[in-house]
Amino acid sequence: MKQIGEARISGSTALFDSLIEVMQVIPSDQRSRKTLLVISDFEDNSSHHSLDDAILRAQQTGTAIFAFMRLGEDPRRSRSANRGLRVAQRLAEETGGEAYRIESPKDMEIALQHLQLLLKSSYAVKYHASATPNKNGNVPLKIEVHRKDASVVAAQRGPAGNL
């Protein structure tokens, strides 16, 4: 843990390309759950693929991305840190994962404990709509959960042709 807390962020990052590459080697067995833990500043400055491409690939493979963003103390990075945080949050939210801000080793410990609890107590349901889309291209879907401590996370976007 101490090494993560002392790491320095620098250099070129092809984050979106890397995520897509990793998801290509994850077995595509539909019955198994796929979780990808990403520790990054979430600033991509070298990818050929876009954030939308990475999110779509995660959705297609049923991979939930859990984004651990290490925030530095350099005030000059605050604008880029905000941009990175938005990317981390979007990756997590649109794939069924969670985004965590890591500012200390204790934050990492708490985030990992939370992740462990989430993975032990969650279920994934994949559904393909067979109904005809409405004029907006959406297919209405009603989800009911009969547990007071449960929540539903759904991808906001579909395949590229259905946006």
- The domain limits of the chain are 2-125
Say if residue 85 is exposed, middle or buried (CB neighbours under 10 Å; 0-12, 13-18, 19+): middle
- Global pTM value: 0.68
CATH 3.30.360.10 fits 2-125, yes or no: no
| pLDDT, tens digit, 9 for 90 and up, residues 16-74 | 999 999 998 877 665 667 889 999 989 898 899 999 999 999 988 889 999 999 876 55
CA distances from 17 to 38, 50, 118, 144 (A): 13, 8, 27, 36
Beta strands 34-40 and 63-70, pairing class = parallel
CA atoms of 30 and 26, how far apart (whole Å): 11
